[in-house]
Chain A
């Protein structure tokens, strides 16, 4: 591995100043489960590694009924699935954080890091998109907010500019009669990367027989995690039925732009999108009915 400097700033201002000064030469370290491997294998270069874990804001994990969930960028998976509020209010997020890597990875890996690594197959991004999460980005000009679906722009690339880093995620409080669900297809039971991932969220009417709104997002079928707005929109005001779910699944299948690689063929992935979208919607509906 090439030599690099290491800094562990204690404040947002200090981190921003380091990142601004060093530009592309600096890399942000959170859980390190992607970055350290990439540096070791020469897939990314860094002259400076900025460990953000000593900054209080990135370790925030708190909930308020009006602001919703504040999830610091450096909160590791195990803390998220070990948090009772998240378990109760955001089971769709729990689905994803409890299947990233194995226990060892979950002890370090963070949702913020999963997002910034910008893999098309990242498990936590589809559920964040369907939950309507927003990225709070710190930078030289203060903070700005970007919806999660707009954060990744290409494999491994995000909207982050020089001097910026992801501070936290904000997830709105769950609405009444709503539910979210994420699942993926992998050939093993554990420790694998999604062939396809699908997340869905739904808001149902008072009697829970009609969709008020829905969101669908897919992983590993496009250069970035894919928000399929039209699949969710098609469900609005439709009855909760197999037929409407199937229609949305078809729209998602048509929106997928998968490639063939070592994990699966494009055809297989398109097929999986249909199946997984349906199952994700069914899971979300079940949770909405239980809520």
Chain B
């Protein structure tokens, strides 16, 4: 049960941690680094609540080992807003009432961020396709899709 020393860049900060090889990146974020914004839903890659961006790619952090984070760049929900300003996705989720219980929300916002990073002007079908790996049981997706499209517009208009 020896722990491994891992160095990674998390939300722009050089971070070091110790973890057991059997701990997922999600467990490391939540239980070791206290970044509890990434949620555990299914813990098997179905729900997307644990989504993070790993070296620019959207992944389920429950399906990544903490030790695999060595040398990687990781963005979590905690890294999106600045002290002065919410990310446009966060603002639009609020304004479109794209959340109720909120447990899926960090995953959806991180997933949508990965989409907008790659494709700043997605069409509605592209948004729906991209978010197929995220489950929400309260809002019914439509408001989420509208919030993402609106956030894309906000980014384009420099809002």
In terms of DSSP, what is the predominant structure of the interface of chain B?
Answer: mixed
- C-beta contact mask, B133-147 vs A, less than 8 Å → 1, else 0? 110000000000000
Given contacts A3-B1, A32-B63, contact A104 B22 (CB under 8 A): no
Decide: B64 and A108 in contact? CB cutoff 8 A. yes
Q: Nearest Cβ distance between residue A186 and chain B, in whole angstroms?
A: 12
- C-beta contact mask, A262-286 vs B, less than 8 Å → 1, else 0? 0000000000000000000000000
Alpha-carbon distance between A104 and B49 when the two chains are bound, in angstroms: 11
Decide: B22 and A4 in contact? CB cutoff 8 A. yes
Q: A residues within 8 A CB of B51?
A: 104
Alpha-carbon distance between A112 and B43 when the two chains are bound, in angstroms: 23
Report if B100 contacts A (CB, 8 A): no
Report if A103 contacts B (CB, 8 A): yes
Alpha-carbon distance between A108 and B51 when the two chains are bound, in angstroms: 12
Report if A146 contacts B (CB, 8 A): no
Q: Nearest Cβ distance between residue A83 and chain B, in whole angstroms?
A: 15
Decide: A103 and B130 in contact? CB cutoff 8 A. yes
Given contacts A36-B24, A36-B63, contact A103 B111 (CB under 8 A): yes
Decide: A107 and B45 in contact? CB cutoff 8 A. no
Given contacts A102-B132, A103-B132, contact A108 B63 (CB under 8 A): yes
Q: B residues within 8 A CB of A191?
A: 46, 132-133
Decide: A103 and B64 in contact? CB cutoff 8 A. no
Q: B residues within 8 A CB of A6?
A: 4, 21, 65, 67
Q: Nearest Cβ distance between residue A30 and chain B, in whole angstroms?
A: 11
One of B8-16, B52-60, B74-82, B90-98 contacting the partner: B52-60
Q: B residues within 8 A CB of A104?
A: 45, 48, 51, 58-60, 63, 111, 133
Report if B20 contacts A (CB, 8 A): yes
Given contacts A104-B60, A107-B57, contact A51 B22 (CB under 8 A): no
Given contacts A101-B133, A105-B133, A189-B132, contact A5 B21 (CB under 8 A): yes
Decide: A49 and B129 in contact? CB cutoff 8 A. no
Q: Nearest Cβ distance between residue A6 and chain B, in whole angstroms?
A: 4
Measured as residues with beta carbon below 8 angstroms from the partner, the interface class of chain A is 20 to 34
Q: Nearest Cβ distance between residue B112 and chain A, in whole angstroms?
A: 11
Given contacts A4-B21, A104-B51, contact A32 B68 (CB under 8 A): yes
Q: Nearest Cβ distance between residue B86 and chain A, in whole angstroms?
A: 23
B45 in complex: contacting residue of A33, A76, A189, CB < 8 Å: A33
B21 in complex: contacting residue of A49, A76, A102, A105, CB < 8 Å: A49
Q: Nearest Cβ distance between residue A2 and chain B, in whole angstroms?
A: 7
Alpha-carbon distance between A56 and B130 when the two chains are bound, in angstroms: 30
Alpha-carbon distance between A102 and B46 when the two chains are bound, in angstroms: 9
Report if B123 contacts A (CB, 8 A): no
Measured CB to CB, the residues of A under 8 A from B are 1-6, 8, 29, 32-33, 36-37, 39-41, 49, 51, 53, 76, 78, 101-105, 107-108, 189-191
Q: List 18 A-B contacts (CB under 8 A).
A: A6-B4, A29-B65, A32-B64, A33-B45, A36-B65, A39-B22, A40-B44, A49-B21, A51-B68, A76-B57, A101-B45, A103-B114, A104-B58, A104-B60, A105-B45, A105-B133, A107-B57, A108-B60
Measured CB to CB, the residues of B under 8 A from A are 1, 4, 20-22, 24, 43-46, 48, 51, 54, 57-60, 62-65, 67-68, 70, 111, 114-115, 129-130, 132-134
